[in-house]
Amino acid sequence: MQKHPLVKEILFSREQIKNRTSEIAQEIEKFYKTQNLKDNTLLLVGLLKGCIPFYAEFMANFNFECDTDFMVVSSYRGGTKTSGDPKIMLDVNTSLKDRDVLIVEDIIDSGYTLQYVKKYFLNRGAKSVRVLTLLDKPEGRQVVITPDWSCFTIANEFVIGFGLDYQERLRNLPYVAICDTTKLADWKW
């Protein structure tokens, strides 16, 4: 696996992500088999764009009836720090009324976006809203929110790869890595 020049350290390899996602899919499957879901179907809502690789990996391992939808909510707008003011750029098309929703997210950092989306879904009539995230960064938390399921917990570092970006780039790295932010100021693409 070739390391990108902006990578300071690879935290999780493609294989580690694949294995952990398979384990967590089984845990979530067992949980939802004990719940009384409308039409025995879970609604998976991916928060774009970062969720795409993780969402696909999770679905490939999730043996439970589900509907899928996506949403774009941003509080970063291209930088490395949150603005703290989430905005819906693209809403879900699926009715949320009486639905059990599992939000699939790439990372929980400040928590602003997830707190906002959970409240928004409940206000639109969702029966339950739970959160699955690839990465949980509790040191970055600025609001009280905890994922229901998390694949990995990380330190307060700026990470890239496997859906995570810097200015919309580097999402396609096949691993999760700490970005060498000292190189960003004069980096030439």
Catalytic residue, from 100, 106, 109, 165: name it: 109
Question: Which is it for the CA torsion 153, 143, 165, 124, positive or negative?
Answer: positive
Cβ(96)–Cβ(126) under 8 Å? yes
Q: Where are the beta strands (DSSP E) in the chain?
A: 7-12, 42-48, 66-74, 87-90, 100-108, 128-136, 149-153, 159-160, 176-179
What are the angstrom distances between the C-alpha of 144 and each of 52, 127, 151? 25, 21, 19
Burial 152-182, CB ≥16 within 10 A → b, else e: bebeebbbbbbbbbbeeebbebebbbbbbee
| Cα distance between residue 102 and residue 107, in whole Å | 14
Active site residue 109: yes
Where in the sequence numbering do the catalytic residues fall?
109
